[in-house]
Every structure is written in C-alpha cells, then in structure tokens.
Amino acid sequence: MSQVRTITRFAPSPTGRLHVGNIRTALVCWLAARADGGSFMLRIDDTDAARSTEDFVDAIRTDLGWLGLVPDGEVRQSDRFALYEAAFETLHAGGRVYPCYESEEELSVKRRIARGRGLPPIYDRAALTLTAEQRHSLDATGATPHWRFKLDGAPIAWDDLVRGPQKFDGTLMSDPVIRRADGSWLYLLPSVIDDIDMRISHVVRGEDHVSNTAVQLQMFAALGARAPAFAHMALLVGTDGKLSKREGAIGVGAIRDEGIEPQALLALLARIGTSDPVVPVAAAVDLIEGFAFGHMGRAPARFDSAELAQLNARTLHLLPFDAVRERLPAGIDETVWLAIRPNLTTLGEAAAMFATIEGPIATPAFDADDRIFAGHAAEAAQTLDWSAAPWAALTAALKGLTGRKGKTLFLPLRLALTGQDHGPEMAALLPLIGRDRAIARLRAAAG
Ligand code: GLU
C-alpha cells in the first residue's frame, strides 16, 4: 500500500488582504506539505458572496506568489455548491440536520432565560419537537427555516498536533447553524465536505477554531469519513500582549512596500512560537528541514516588527545576486552587490549606495587640515597599485605620510571618496569607485 502523503489546505476568505496571521497559517500548511513531499492546496472560502470580492481572490494569489508559497491546486467553495447540497441531503436523510424557525430575537430571549436559570445558553432543540404538521403550517406562512446540525452527546476528543489531547462535551454545545434561511452556507459544514473531498490529511489553523473542530469532528463521522489530523496554532500577539491593530491588520502589500523581503517574513513566522531559534534564510525551502508541529508551543507567538526589520537586514546580507538582480537598479553587478549587501537594511537602499560609487557625490566641507590631508591622499592615490588592495595601500601610505590613524585617518577619506560618513566597507568600495573617480574626488575635497 502506498503511503498517504500530507495534504494541507490554506482556506482564506477573500474578504480582505492576507495579514500576518493568515500568512503564518499558509506557511505552516506549506511547510507541513513540503516536508512530507505532499500537496499544499488553496481553498477560497467564498460562500459569503456579499463580503467576498474577486479583487481579494486575485490579491491572495498574488500575495502567495510573492511569498513563494505556490499552491499545488486551487478550489473555490462557490464552485462546489452541488457537492454541499448532496452531503446536506445525506445528513438530512440520516436525521443529522434539521430545520429551525426561531428568529434571532427569540433565540436571544431563550439564551437570556437559560443564563438567568444558571444554565449554559445552548440551543434547546425546540425545533426538533415540531411535528410535521406544525412545520407545514409554518412553511405555509412563508417562513423559511434555517438549518442546524444535530450533535450527538458522545464525548469529543482528539489529539491535537500542537495542543495535545483535547476534550469537549457535546451535551454542552449548541447544535450549530449550518445553513441560513436563504439557503446560503455557513462556514462549518462546507469546510468538512471539502476536507473530505480533497482528502485533506492535516487541518492547520488558528486556535480560535478549536471549538469548531469539536463540532466538525462529528460532521466527519456523520458523513462516514475519517477525520484529518488537526493542528491549532497559538495566536499571534504583538510585543506588548495583543497584536496591535496595525500589526494585526497589516497586509502583505504594506509589508512589501516597507521593503521587507518575503524570506524574512517567512523565516520569522516559521519560528516564532516554536522552540527553534529565528534564523535568516535565503529561500523559503530552507525552512522545511527544521519544521515539526511538535516544536510549536501553546503560548502565544510574539510578532515583533522590530525583529522583522532586523531579520530583513540579515536576510539581505545572505541573498545571492541572482535572488535580487531583477529588482536592482541598472548597473549593479554581482561585485557591487557583494560590496553593498552587508550594509543594507532594505533593498531600496541599494540605489543610494550605488550612487556613492557612480557619483556624483557631495564634496565635503573640510577644514584646512583635512583639505591638506585630502591633497596628500590624492597624490598617494596616483602612485598606488590599483590592481591589488588599493584601500589598504592608500591608508598605509597616508598613515606613514601624515601620522594619522583611526577615525582621523578613515573618516575624512570616506567622506571625500563617497560623500557619506558611513557605508559599506571601503576596502570593497574603493576598487569599484576606481582610480580616476577616486583621484578626482580627493582633489575636489582638497579644494
Ligand atoms: N475560512 C476559514 C477562516 O479563514 C477557514 C478556517 C479553516 O481553516 O478551516 O477562518
């Protein structure tokens, strides 16, 4: 018998841009599938026609593409209503779904009464006691029912891949509404039908879905299917507790516009909330090897934008030229990239750094001493062997000639040669600036 590979699905609702929370879910789905040579599927949860938009569907695909989390297949719930209808009929025939006629107001009164009596505010199943006649006369008044799934009272338990053993008492839960009076679907049942149909082996999602899982496990059983494994990830929080509104709502587009590399975002999201250290990677595939559900903790995962910014810099420092060449300004070749890379915090800074090589640069306003020093430097630069290590040779010559050392030696040179008081290693920059430009800049600084 061939071994069943992991099949995961990422199931966003196209009602907004992907934010850090869903990206983490998508990433973990992708990692779990890739770690096992399995499949990562995209399921567009667009049963809510009023709130779903085509633009958001496109944005989800674009965002996943930018992140490099490319799905092996895609389904849309709005294409699958016939499948849901058929499963619904099966459940109806088996007595596992039933029509209810209560209005929202009636239900809220019932809940208030239950609470007043110190009882859990669960649905009293009054609709189950309606006779066929009562139902017909309700239907005759034009009332259309909504539908609930009938839970059985058996204890519900599963071994969550992140949270460990979970237990729920079905008798303390309301039969969930699965379909509205207008025939539209709520999330719970279609998700189960799809998970069965798509042979999903692992459902990975946030811990806010834990009680949904309790209910959905009974739906899998009612449909005669084996339930997948479940992994409920702890929620993401910000540095001071809750994820701030900005951090929580920040979409992929905004993250990209801030100059964050997808690898940096993925490297952070793959490891926060786990027992593993956050390390920069050059490509998302490098995260696969260390992935294990068992490393994920139950404590909230802390998302820190400052940590992301730092990780972004560390990521750039290890990206090869090929990974960035298409996004670099014209003229930056591999040698320039390797020279400027260690100083970048975002790729957008590359243009300004390249300008310090290409020029023109601002001539520094030196005092008399520094002007004389720049004049010596210009002369020394003319006699250097530029084919070897010109920076070491230039500084050694000037040290001997002027007695300057440390900052008084290096800073005026950097200023004169690049127009900046900081930047990439001069040893790497000077050969790129080249003899002629270097001499001209030093002469200009000498005044
Ligand atoms: N569309 C649901 C959500 O975004 C999917 C939940 C699930 O993964 O089952 O919350």
Q: What are the pLDDT digits (tens) for 266-309?
A: 999 999 999 999 999 999 999 999 999 999 999 999 999 999 99
Looking at the chain, the domain(s) classified CATH 3.90.800.10 span 83-179
- Give the whole-angstrom CA distance, residue 293 versus residue 31: 10
Tell which atom from ligand 1 comes closest to the C-alpha of 45. Answer: 1
- Cβ of 191 closer than 6 Å to ligand 1, yes or no, is yes
- Residue 325 one-letter amino acid: R
pLDDT value at position 253? 86
Say if residues 443 and 417 touch (Cβ distance below 8 Å).
no
Q: Which residues of the chain have pLDDT under 50?
A: 1
- Residue 275: what are its φ and ψ, rounded to 5°? -85, 0
Tell which atom from ligand 1 comes closest to the C-alpha of 195. Answer: 9
Tell which atom from ligand 1 comes closest to the C-alpha of 9. Answer: 8
Looking at the chain, the domain(s) classified CATH 1.10.10.350 span 357-446
DSSP lists the bridge partners of residue 98 as 148
**Atom 3 in ligand 1: which residue has the minimum CA distance?**
12
- Give the whole-angstrom CA distance, residue 328 versus residue 355: 13
- Give the whole-angstrom CA distance, residue 96 versus residue 413: 81
- Give the whole-angstrom CA distance, residue 44 versus residue 445: 62
Choosing from 13, 24, 47, 204 the residue with most ligand 1 atoms within 8 A of its CB, the one to mutate for a pocket test is: 13
Which of 207, 206, 212 is closest to 186 using CA atoms?
212
Q: What spacing in Å lies between the alpha carbon of 198 and ligand 1's midpoint?
A: 15
- Cβ of 12 closer than 6 Å to ligand 1, yes or no, is yes
pLDDT value at position 248? 61
**For residue 267, what is the enclosing H or E element?**
helix 262-271
DSSP lists the bridge partners of residue 100 as 146
pTM, to two decimals? 0.92
- Give the whole-angstrom CA distance, residue 186 versus residue 34: 31
Tell which atom from ligand 1 comes closest to the C-alpha of 10. Answer: 8
| Cα 187-208-272 angle, rounded to 5 deg | 125
| Cα 171-152-230 angle, rounded to 5 deg | 90
- Give the whole-angstrom CA distance, residue 269 versus residue 30: 12
**For residue 177, what is the enclosing H or E element?**
strand 177-179
pLDDT value at position 1? 45
Q: What spacing in Å lies between the alpha carbon of 207 and ligand 1's midpoint?
A: 11
- Cβ of 9 closer than 6 Å to ligand 1, yes or no, is no
Say if residues 25 and 233 touch (Cβ distance below 8 Å).
yes
Q: What spacing in Å lies between the alpha carbon of 156 and ligand 1's midpoint?
A: 21
pLDDT value at position 350? 97
Tell which atom from ligand 1 comes closest to the C-alpha of 212. Answer: 9
Q: What spacing in Å lies between the alpha carbon of 76 and ligand 1's midpoint?
A: 13
Q: Which residues contact 342 (CB under 8 A, 6 or more apart)?
A: 317, 424, 425
Let me know if domain 83-179 sits in CATH 3.90.800.10: yes
Choosing from 10, 41, 45, 210 the residue with most ligand 1 atoms within 8 A of its CB, the one to mutate for a pocket test is: 45
Say if residues 183 and 174 touch (Cβ distance below 8 Å).
no
- Residue 212: what are its φ and ψ, rounded to 5°? -60, -40
Q: Hey, is 149 helix, strand or coil?
A: strand
Which of 242, 247, 301 is closest to 271 using CA atoms?
301
Q: What spacing in Å lies between the alpha carbon of 287 and ligand 1's midpoint?
A: 24
DSSP state for residue 224 in the 8-state scheme:
T
- Give the whole-angstrom CA distance, residue 404 versus residue 427: 18
- Cβ of 402 closer than 6 Å to ligand 1, yes or no, is no
Q: What spacing in Å lies between the alpha carbon of 11 and ligand 1's midpoint?
A: 5
Q: Hey, is 44 helix, strand or coil?
A: strand
33 alpha carbon, distance to own chain's centre: 16
pLDDT value at position 250? 74
Q: Which residues contact 127 (CB under 8 A, 6 or more apart)?
A: 98, 99, 100, 101, 102, 145, 148
Tell which atom from ligand 1 comes closest to the C-alpha of 208. Answer: 10
Q: What spacing in Å lies between the alpha carbon of 206 and ligand 1's midpoint?
A: 8
DSSP lists the bridge partners of residue 400 as none
Q: What spacing in Å lies between the alpha carbon of 124 and ligand 1's midpoint?
A: 27
Say if residues 290 and 304 touch (Cβ distance below 8 Å).
no
* Chain segment 206-229, per-residue pLDDT in tens: 999 999 999 999 999 999 999 999
- Give the whole-angstrom CA distance, residue 365 versus residue 157: 75
Q: Which residues contact 436 (CB under 8 A, 6 or more apart)?
A: none
- Give the whole-angstrom CA distance, residue 65 versus residue 88: 35
- DSSP-H helix ranges across 272-367: 305-316, 321-324, 334-340, 350-358
Looking at the chain, the domain(s) classified CATH 3.40.50.620 span 1-74+234-319
What number of CA atoms fall less than 13 Å from residue 426's CA on the CB side? Answer: 21
Q: What spacing in Å lies between the alpha carbon of 168 and ligand 1's midpoint?
A: 20
Q: Which residue has the tokens 């009562």?
A: 134
DSSP state for residue 127 in the 8-state scheme:
G
DSSP lists the bridge partners of residue 74 as 42
- Cβ of 205 closer than 6 Å to ligand 1, yes or no, is yes
pLDDT value at position 2? 52
Tell which atom from ligand 1 comes closest to the C-alpha of 22. Answer: 4
**Atom 10 in ligand 1: which residue has the minimum CA distance?**
12
Listing DSSP states for 99-115 in one string gives EE---HHHHHHHHHHHH
Q: What spacing in Å lies between the alpha carbon of 205 and ligand 1's midpoint?
A: 7
Choosing from 27, 47, 191 the residue with most ligand 1 atoms within 8 A of its CB, the one to mutate for a pocket test is: 191
Residues in the chain: 447
**For residue 43, what is the enclosing H or E element?**
strand 39-44
Q: Which residue has the tokens 């017909």?
A: 136
- Cβ of 13 closer than 6 Å to ligand 1, yes or no, is yes
- Give the whole-angstrom CA distance, residue 391 versus residue 423: 15
- Cβ of 312 closer than 6 Å to ligand 1, yes or no, is no
Q: What spacing in Å lies between the alpha carbon of 15 and ligand 1's midpoint?
A: 12
* 357-446: CATH architecture: Orthogonal Bundle (1.10)
Let me know if domain 1-74+234-319 sits in CATH 3.40.50.150: no
- Cβ of 45 closer than 6 Å to ligand 1, yes or no, is yes
* Chain segment 325-381, per-residue pLDDT in tens: 999 999 999 999 999 999 999 999 999 999 999 999 999 999 999 999 999 999 999
